[in-house]
Structure 1
């Protein structure tokens, strides 16, 4: 149903922007310009909205990741494209999102854990293996260990106990983690290719900014 999809997408937009705990059903109804009664006709409570919204978001992420994997010419271009994707996705996300899920919405939290521990981890492990086969990544790393490290980095950057919001911008922390991760993987040949892709990305940003101004 179109209206059902509209509700969950509108709610998810608010959850990502403001965090889950701070968004009420009244806020969702107001954001969608509909009555709260209408929202409750399709979803029994906020927890259901959060869980379904998280599931839909993860499916969208899977499609995006798979498209990048199919388009990338090599493992480093795949990483560079994922970096661009990460920067875009983090632009409007609230740092408390994962904490709210873990503490108040266990079903939605499990959706995230499944996505992190299965899909993302396997995707990263496959990428590392691909880079090693292509002679772009170091041969002395364990793909599974690197994959676990990377997924835990993503989650750790959201943890306000480790990176308090009044001291760190979690978006910058995520980008620093990613840059450190990829630079720790590449060998000399891979570093040259990585620099090439990063230069192309920076040039693309410059052109976009010029056009916007």
Structure 2
């Protein structure tokens, strides 16, 4: 593996485990068994590492979301598969990462917001549109409004002022949001399918 890639991989693992702000360049260097000077040969500063790590994660998430879309049986199945992906991310993610990103790395946070308002939003719109076409979601729902509500719930999950990580598990919060969201838009047929997937997920 190239040195640059090793730096990014080590930094991502440390960020996810301890949060972004608390991880120093010295700690990244120590984790890799290289000098801090070597890191600076590849990256101008920690901000640059954070930005590239975030860019890679978002690109990987987009690829995974597209893969899920291709293999999902229907839009409700797609949502359940996305929940499983979120579960895997949440298990490896220190909740303070989102707080650190928002407060101390505005450039990267803005990149995430742009990604959310374009890529994530289009994914949410597509899911709602196809759910209506397949008779799983109510035809009268407002796609423009509900797609935005859905993606804003992602940030809401990690809001420490509302759901402090000492008291709430982020995956449980997201599951509750999804349950509330889907029950509000499904048809009777959609609800039957939703119950089927819910039972499967619990087994």
Shorter-chain TM-score bucket reads over 0.9
Following TM superposition, where does structure 1 have runs of at least 4 consecutive aligned residues deviating by more than 6 angstroms?
A: none
For these two proteins, the number of residue pairs brought into alignment is 203
- 5+ residue gaps, structure 1, are 204-213
Q: Distance in 1 between matches of 2:93 and 2:169?
A: 12
What TM-score comes out, normalization by structure 1 length?
A: 0.90
Equivalent residue number for residue 98 of structure 1: 98
How big is the shift at 1:81? 0.9
Equivalent residue number for residue 128 of structure 1: 128
Q: Distance in 1 between matches of 2:59 and 2:85?
A: 15
CA contact (8 A) 1:75 1:127 kept: yes
CA offset digits 1:43-70 (Å, max 9, x no partner): 1110000001000100000000001111
Tell whether 2:150 aligns with 1:150.
yes
Equivalent residue number for residue 45 of structure 1: 45
Q: Which moved further from structure 2: 40-49 or 136-145?
A: 136-145
Tell whether 2:4 aligns with 1:4.
yes
Tell whether 2:36 aligns with 1:36.
yes
Tell whether 2:199 aligns with 1:199.
yes
Equivalent residue number for residue 64 of structure 1: 64
CA contact (8 A) 2:18 2:94 kept: yes
Equivalent residue number for residue 180 of structure 1: 180
Q: Distance in 2 between matches of 1:185 and 1:12?
A: 37
CA contact (8 A) 1:80 1:194 kept: no
Equivalent residue number for residue 78 of structure 1: 78
How big is the shift at 1:167? 2.9
Equivalent residue number for residue 20 of structure 2: 20
**RMSD of the alignment, in Å?**
1.5
Q: Distance in 2 between matches of 1:175 and 1:201?
A: 11
CA contact (8 A) 1:75 1:128 kept: yes
What TM-score comes out, normalization by structure 2 length?
A: 0.94
Secondary structure in 1 matching 2:67: helix
Q: Distance in 2 between matches of 1:20 and 1:163?
A: 19
How big is the shift at 1:139? 1.7
Q: Which moved further from structure 2: 174-183 or 93-102?
A: 174-183
How big is the shift at 1:197? 2.0
Q: Which moved further from structure 2: 170-179 or 52-61?
A: 170-179
